[in-house]
Amino acid sequence: MSTADCEQQGTGWGILEDLPGDPMIWVLIFSELVAFGLFLGAFTVARAIHPAVFAAGQATLDSNLAGLNTIVLVTSGWAAARATKAARAGERQVARYWIFGAMALGGLFIAIKLAEYAEEIGRGVGLETSPFFTLYFLLTGFHLLHVGLGIVILAVVCRRAEVSGVETGTAFWHMVDLVWIVMFPILYLAK
Amino acid sequence: MTMPDRIDITWIVLIGLALATILLPPLMPRPLLGNALLLAFAALKGHRIALDFMDLRAVPALWRGLVATWILTVLLLAWLASAIVVLI
C-alpha cells in the first residue's frame, strides 16, 4: 500500500483513531496503565505476604493529606475537561485559562506530596525501612513523576490550544488522575 | 447563570465520593465491608473519570471495556488480598 493510499484511508492508526486526541498518546496511556497495574498488583501481593509490616507502615501515613491531594487532582481533572470543551467550541483563550488552572492544581498536588515526603523522611522513614515503604515510595514517586510530565505536556499544548493538542494533553492528565484515584485507597486506607 | 453540565456534575460526584472515602474508614469496624466500600467508591470514581473526563462515553465499547477491566482488576485484587489477610 502506498503512502497516498494510507492518507486516503486515514492516518493508519486503525481503531485507535476513534479515541480523542493523538492516537500515540493512547498507546502511552494503555502502556502506563499496564505498568501501574503490575506495580499495584505487586504491592497487593506483598501486602498479603507481610500483613503486619504493611499495616504498621500504613498506620504512619497521613491519609488526610493524601485525601486532600485526591480533591486537588480531581479538581484539576475537571479543569482539564473544561479546557477540552472550550477548545472544541473554538474558545482558545478560555481553554488556555482552564489549562493554566489544571497545571496550577497539578503543581499544588506536587507541593503537598513533597511536604508529605518531607514529614516522612524527617521521621527517619526511607526506601529501605520496610517492604511497605519501598513499594510506597516507588509507587507514589513513579506517579509523582507522571504528574510532573503531565504538567509539561499541558504546558506544551497550552501554547496553541488547538483541539487535537488539548485532547491529547488532557487525556494523559486524566490517566494520571485515574491512577491516583485507584492507588489512594489501596496504599492509604484499605485495611 | 449557566446550568452545570455533565463535566460539572461528574466533578461534584467525584468530590462527594472523595470526601466519603476520607471519612468512611473510622466508621467501619469490619475491614472486609469497609474495604469493599472504599474500593467500590474508587471504582465509581474511576468509571466517571473514564466516561466523562477521558471522554470515552462516545467511543467504541472496546475502549471503555479495557479501562473498566483495568480498574476492576486492580481493585478486586486489592480486595481479595485484604480479605485473605482478614480471614486467615
**Per-residue model confidence as pLDDT tens digits over A125-150:** 999 999 999 999 999 999 999 999 99
With beta carbons under 8 A apart, name residues in chain B contacting A39.
none
pTM above 0.90, yes or no: yes
Q: What are the b/e assignments for B50-85, b being 16+ CB within 10 Å?
A: bbbbbbbeebeeebbeebbebbeebbebbbebbeeb
Chain-chain contact of B74 with A186 (C-beta, under 8 angstroms): yes
Stretch 27-56 of chain A: residues touching chain B, C-beta under 8 Å: 30, 33, 37, 40-41, 44-45, 47-48, 51
Q: Which of A64, A78, A191 sits opposite B82 (nearest CB)?
A: A191
**Span B68-79, average pLDDT:** 97
pLDDT at A63: 94
Q: What is the reported pLDDT for B1? A: 56
Examine the pLDDT at A156 and tell me if it is beyond 60: yes
For residue A82, list chain B residues with Cβ-Cβ distance below 8 A: 7
What's the structural domain count of chain B?
1
Q: What is the pLDDT of residues A72-101, one digit of tens each?
A: 999 999 999 999 999 999 999 999 999 999
What is the ipTM score, two decimals? 0.94
Sign of the C-alpha dihedral computed for residues A170, A136, B43 and A110 taken in this order: negative
User: Are A190 and B79 in contact (CB < 8 Å)?
Assistant: yes
Please state the separation of Cα A71 from the chain's center in Å: 14
**Degrees (nearest 5) of the Cα angle B79, B25, A47?**
35
pLDDT tens for residues B27-38? Answer: 877 788 899 999
Q: Is the dihedral of CA A165, A169, A171, A174 positive or negative?
A: negative
User: Which residues in chain A have Cβ-Cβ distances shorter than 8 Å to B7?
Assistant: 78, 81-82, 85
Per residue in A17-75, pLDDT (tens digit) is 889 989 999 999 999 999 999 999 999 999 999 999 999 999 999 999 999 999 999 99
Residue B42 confidence (pLDDT): 97
Give me the residue from A37, A64, A67 closest to B70, CB to CB.
Answer: A37
* Cα A115 from Cα A172, distance rounded (Å): 25
pLDDT at B12 over 70: yes
Q: Which of A7-11, A14-18, A162-166 has the highest mean pLDDT?
A: A162-166
> What value does the CA radius of gyration of chain A take, rounded to a whole number of Å?
19
In a domain, B1, yes or no: no
Residue B17 maps to a domain = yes
Sign of the C-alpha dihedral computed for residues A88, A163, B46 and A148 taken in this order: negative
What local confidence, expressed as pLDDT, does residue A1 receive? Answer: 46
Domain interval for residue B52: 6-87
Asked if residue A184 lies in contact with residue B45, where contact means CB atoms within 8 angstroms, the answer is no
Q: Tell me which of A74, A84, A188 to substitute to probe the interface with B (most B C-beta atoms closer than 10 Å).
A: A74
Interchain pair B49, A184: CB under 8 A: no
- Reply yes or no on whether the pLDDT at B3 is more than 80: no
CB burial readout A72-101, b (16+ within 10 A) else e: bbbbbbbbbbbbbbbbeeeeeebbbbbbeb
Domains of chain A: 38-45+61-189 (1.20.120.80)
Which three cell numbers mark B27? 466508621
Pairs of CB atoms within 8 A across A/B: 127
Please tell me the predicted confidence (pLDDT) of residue A5: 54
Distance CA B59, CA A137 (A): 35
CB spacing of A181 vs B70 below 8 angstroms: no
> Which chain B residues touch A74 with a CB distance below 8 Å?
11, 14-15, 18, 45
In a domain, B53, yes or no: yes
Verify whether the Cβ–Cβ distance B59 to A20 is below 8 Å: yes
Looking at the partner chain, which of B49, B63, B77 has a beta carbon nearest the beta carbon of A44? B77
Distance, in Å, from the CA atom of B71 to the CA atom of A182, rounded to the nearest integer, reads 7
* C-alpha distances out from residue A129 to A62, A118, B69, Å: 17, 15, 34
Are B21 and A177 an interchain contact pair (Cβ–Cβ within 8 Å)? no
What span, in angstroms and rounded, lies between the C-alpha atoms of B74 and B59? 23
Own/partner long-range contacts of B46-50 (Cβ < 8 Å, ≥24 apart):
B46/A178, B46/A181, B46/A182, B46/B71, B47/B71, B48/B10, B48/B13, B48/B14, B49/A77, B49/A174, B49/A177, B49/A178, B49/A181, B49/B10, B49/B14, B50/A174, B50/A178
Return the pLDDT at A17.
Answer: 87
Contact A105, A149 (CB under 8 A): no
pLDDT score of A9: 54
Q: Is A63 at the interface with chain B, CB within 8 A?
A: yes
Mean pLDDT of chain B: 92
- pLDDT category at A163 given cuts 50, 70, 90 is very high
CA distance B2 to chain A (A): 14
